[in-house]
Homo-oligomer: A and B are copies of this chain.
């Protein structure tokens, strides 16, 4: 009460209210109530409810990505590093669903309603993949790649089944780890392949 209200305080309170009430019931009035201020004060720091929710989404996404970003910088040969990165991405998300399905659903809802945030986040992720690919090519661990960014995106797309929340229901399915391994092998075989027969080119 002593200090003047900050955006951080509001962000924290909003995160709390979202956790407690869920994405459909959390209101700006609730956030203000939690802080002991009038809801008008919240609008001094955030132009709209949507903007506040977007800020929460961005922060959450950024924080929960930390362990994966770490895997991107690990000191390993590129193929292991890529596999490790993909596995970490999958595992951290899977743990989140298992640990607290409701919370995961809440933040998935937030993510879905903020496509801009998602686009930025995907750009970060494919950027990390691209870095690993470049390192691998430079070290001769991967075959030369024509368009690294596009290939990075392809690796990301090909593993969607294991990081897109839309599939979270399947992450507990039996045999999901084998499915993940199979896709990884497919990808890594491709990247480490010696130039063999010509691949069918896009029309």
Contacts and interface: CB of A to CB of B under 8 A. Distances in A.
Total copies of this chain within the assembly: 2
A166 B166 CA distance: 7
A157 interface: yes
A182 interface: yes
Contacts of A80: 200
Interface residues of A, number: 41
A155 B161 CA distance: 12
B181 A202 contact: yes
A7 interface: no
A158 interface: yes
Contact of A182 (B151, B177, B181, B185): B151
Nearest to A149: B182
A184 B200 CA distance: 9
A194 interface: yes
Interface of A: 79-80, 83, 141, 143, 147, 150-151, 153-155, 157-161, 164, 166-167, 177-179, 181-190, 192-197, 199-200, 202
